[in-house]
Chains A and B, each alone.
Chain A
């Protein structure tokens, strides 16, 4: 009995020290907290695995391919005569068969992942950088800049609106037409499409954050405006932009494919790229539709991976869902 009451007392004392001090633990920052929740989300795990595979293949794949993806082996061997409608399908030597020029389709698909990844990432980065610069400037001007700032914001936003008013693909096509078809052109063109999205997103988010009390608190502490923008407003506004960037990677890959499909693609010395493969396959849809299906499936799976991860990140970074 005495023992039990002694235990009770101990328990009480422990409880009495309010909030049960966890002295050893470090504080949990928002990013770390978001990462924790991301790890618990099965969708995020699946997305991350898909993307990890994709990146791995893009890095090491081109070194491991069974055949030179640019060599027309099938034509040399006389097995492929696409003019006569002869393009053999999968065999034990050529797992996915040949393409219309007699190249090994499997090797091209593997090697193409690198080009696709580079184009997707670089074009997203271009869009992200320009968009964040425009949006950041605009958001800072609108949120903290006073009357003069509203002017700056107005001008910047009208420019962005003009970009936004042109349909994305048309914008990309015109860019490609002006700059001439090259991989760089495609990346700039695809990037340009996402500029207004990033800019608007960041600006809106920054204006919302600028009205929060902690910005007022920093002002009342005597912190300079540009410092408030850089150290408070922008970091707190980035979450939706990062989520959007992940989702944009998926669309960028699809858009690059569309541009290639329209003949404005990234023909670099016969380097395969999934969009281009898809484009070339259209002439042979009647003979061997699988040639279109392989790259299409590859694009869809990759885009799906990015989308899964992006959506999971949106959830993880949502402050409303945090307990």
Chain B
């Protein structure tokens, strides 16, 4: 049985005087222990909202959450604030995109790490401090004892992200959610952080949900990849399968529109026309249809269903890209 089973998760935002927004519109995926699962998509595809919903961090007013998220027997979406606070940090932890704004600027990093240890692991102050230093050391922060006393602004971006990861793994959570953990960082620092995340997952059998827009990051470290578009998973496959034989026109379009470092110079990019704003509501058909180059009549009228294949690869398309036509 999977560690986390997300079934038909939906999040709608309803603000006074404004149109209802279906940010997440029926997302299903599962994560096994020790597995790295990616949620990939562009802005507005619902990947971040999905993670916030799982963590119970959406504003209570205005956001309506539906579906279920079975985490080892408990439905994360059905928990009240109080029990969710216990689960957060202890069983499920999150790493955010911007480490500076997710660390408290007026509290030394060390206290922010020990705080978690005291709260969730019931450690005493001294033991917690010792453990905190070990944690910082483990995430590759040099001179950890001194760093404990420093404030977030005294650390560099990469170090802050490491500190944040230390806080996240402090209680040895079984599930880690990383929301664009390297987007704010430089590539060489990104490489360090990704390496660190890979190591942590390998060593502790933690499951990791990696939320990103970068297919390159995904290619290097995720086992299963879910491509999201307009609030739904449009394609889901094992890593190699997805990149070798993408079936959904959106996935193919994405792959063809990014310049690759190893491609020959002068190779033309094939952009996806339009913008992510040009979507069709899922109830009326395929949301990607307005931008799709493989659009046929059947794309509009009814929402396309997820088509499974025998390899565990599935896609939400009535006119998928043939396997031979991979790039």
Contact = CB atoms under 8 A, between A and B. Distances in A.
Interface residues on chain B, size class: 10 to 19
A280 B290 CA distance: 73
Interface stretch (A13-21, A181-189, A198-206, A268-276): A13-21
B297 A18 contact: no
A8 B277 contact: no
Given A19-B278, A40-B17, A12 B273 contact: no
Contacts of A5: 297
Contacts of B73: none
B278 A12 contact: no
Question: Which residue, A12, A18, A19, has most C-beta atoms of chain B within 10 A?
Answer: A12
A12 B289 contact: yes
A18 B278 contact: yes
Interface string B251-276: 00000000000000000000001110
Contacts of B111: none
B231 to A, nearest CB: 17
Contacts of B297: 5, 8-9, 12
A5 B291 CA distance: 19
Contact of B299 (A4, A12, A18, A19): A12
A155 to B, nearest CB: 32
Given A4-B301, A9-B297, A15 B273 contact: no
Question: Which residue, A8, A15, A18, A323, has most C-beta atoms of chain B within 10 A?
Answer: A15
B280 interface: yes
B280 A15 contact: yes
B44 to A, nearest CB: 12
Contact of B289 (A4, A15, A19, A323): A15
A11 interface: yes
Contacts of B290: 15-16, 18
A15 B280 CA distance: 8
Contacts of B275: 18-19
Interface in B266-313: 273-275, 277-278, 280, 284, 289-291, 295, 297, 299-301
B42 to A, nearest CB: 16
Interface string A269-287: 0000000000000000000
A8 B17 contact: no
A9 B296 CA distance: 9
B274 A12 contact: no
A40 B18 CA distance: 10
Contacts, number: 31
Interface residues on chain A, size class: 10 to 19
Contacts of A15: 278, 280, 289-290, 300
Contact of A18 (B17, B274, B300, B301): B274
A114 to B, nearest CB: 37
Given A12-B289, A12-B295, A40-B17, A19 B300 contact: no
Contacts of B274: 18-19
Nearest to A4: B301
A20 B301 CA distance: 19
Contacts of B277: 19
B317 to A, nearest CB: 16
Nearest to B15: A323
Interface string B28-67: 0000000000000000000000000000000000000000
Contacts of B280: 15
A294 to B, nearest CB: 37
A323 B13 CA distance: 13
Interface string A1-32: 00011001101100110110000000000000
B300 A8 contact: yes
Nearest to B273: A18
Contacts of B291: 18
Contacts of A11: 284, 300
A19 B17 CA distance: 23
A323 B18 CA distance: 10
A147 B18 CA distance: 48
A12 to B, nearest CB: 5
Given A15-B280, A15-B290, A16-B290, 5 more contacts: A9-B297, A12-B297, A12-B300, A19-B274, A19-B278
The 5 closest A-B pairs by CB, nearest first: A15-B290, A18-B274, A8-B300, A40-B17, A18-B278
